[in-house]
Amino acid sequence: MAELFKTHITFNNGETHIEEAITADKIGSTILRLCEGPSAAAGIIQRAIIVDGGDCICIEIIGRDIVYPPQLAEQQQSYRSGQKQQA
């Protein structure tokens, strides 16, 4: 059975939302939506965490930036830097 992950989102107004379980193959699209999607662009997401079945934080996003794990944060920074150079 595939491991399932939940996404906990805190909005700037203090409201929270939990997105039900997703599989590992959907994490990439979830991260992209949380960092680059309409809600992120509008600045309404304060913090989002993706947790595994044991409620351990796997990914933490503050605003539009990945802060944990550090390796993924570095990849995001490199990607954004490359995007700015192409513009």
Q: What is the pLDDT of residues 33-86, one digit of tens each?
A: 999 999 999 999 999 999 999 999 999 999 999 999 999 999 999 888 887 777
pLDDT tens track for 67-79: 999 999 999 998 8
The residue type at 79: Y
Strand order in the sheet with 16-23: 16-23, 4-11, 45-51, 57-62, 65-68
